[in-house]
Amino acid sequence: MKYSNDSNIAVISTYKENMSVKDLKDMTLQLRRDIIELTWFSGTQSSHVGGELSAAEIMAVLFGRILKLDPQNPVWENRDRVILSKGHASALTYVAMAWRGFFERDVLWNEFNRVGGRLQEHANMELPGIEAPTGSLGMGLSNGCGMAWAAKHTYKDKKPPYNVYVILGDGECTEGQTWEAVMTAAHFKLDNLIAIVDYNKYIISGTTYEVMDLEPFTDKWESFGWDVQIVEDGHDIVQLIAAVEKAGEYETAPDKPRVIIANTVKGKCIKFMENDAIHWHAGHLDEKLYEQCKKELGL
């Protein structure tokens, strides 16, 4: 499928092994620029842009530094599995996948939220590289538990050759199924399961404190038997690398699943979104706002 839309966004970052902190910062900027461009060119001129921007550094560290993937063989047996449980923020997954080479970049501008396009608001497994559908929130960690359990069951007494990463939104952490999965992971000692919470403290209709207070959030995870790390600034690449690399080591917490709670800002790097986060959970761009986004991202 091909449409007439064609982005002029320059490529400032490409994948290479052993990416430096500067490389990952460039990648994060690339992801943010591509999210805005994808949103502008989408069939609806919208996306769930606030929560996509808040998790850009998390996704950059994963796709740029951590994940073992083969875009030419998306079902490679030893690949790391990654699930964006906050599935409405799918544009973030798509721009990272295009950056890593799962499909051509022009697909971003031509197939998001379009009839017949492969890039739908909630990703599905018809797109190679997507591990699980995310149409209902709260299911991602359960999917991750199943994949992590399968790996441990398959390799039995040996360390599985891959980890399972699940990116959660704080909003879905108000849902019962999430906590059933938290309990399940601890019971089955899924130490190859790593959850990362994009803790931007906003749900669709307000702050987490107002709608459904999650605090004491850290204590909850610990009480369920998880190893917990806090990243005070979820936009700090160095802090994120340290936390994710530590979580990926078996010796960190044998027999315990791991969670990283990353404190982030909804709409990060676009000031009018940061200052009005409730109304930018999802949003439509008009030409004026599109140009403002480009200006704030140095375009």
What are the backbone dihedrals phi and psi of residue 221, each rounded to the nearest 5 degrees, phi first? -60, -45
Domains in the chain: ranges and CATH:
21-296 (3.40.50.970)
**DSSP H/E element including 259:** strand 258-263
The residue assigned the tokens 């996948």 is: 97
Give the pLDDT of residue 136. Answer: 80
**DSSP H/E element including 283:** strand 283-284
DSSP string, 178-216: HHHHHHHHHHTT-TTEEEEEEE--EETTEEHHHHS---S
Is the overall model pTM greater than 0.95, yes or no?
yes
Q: Are 141 and 169 in contact (CB under 8 A)?
A: no
Angle between helices 140-155 and 176-187 (to 10 degrees): 20
pLDDT tens across the length of the chain (299 residues)? 445 688 888 999 999 999 999 999 999 999 999 999 999 999 999 999 999 999 999 999 999 999 999 999 999 999 999 999 999 999 999 999 999 999 999 999 999 999 999 999 999 999 999 999 987 888 999 999 999 999 999 998 889 999 999 999 999 999 999 999 999 999 999 999 999 999 999 999 999 999 999 999 999 999 999 999 999 999 999 999 999 999 999 999 999 999 999 999 999 999 999 999 999 999 999 999 999 999 999 99
Is residue 82 classed as helix, strand or coil in its secondary structure?
Answer: strand
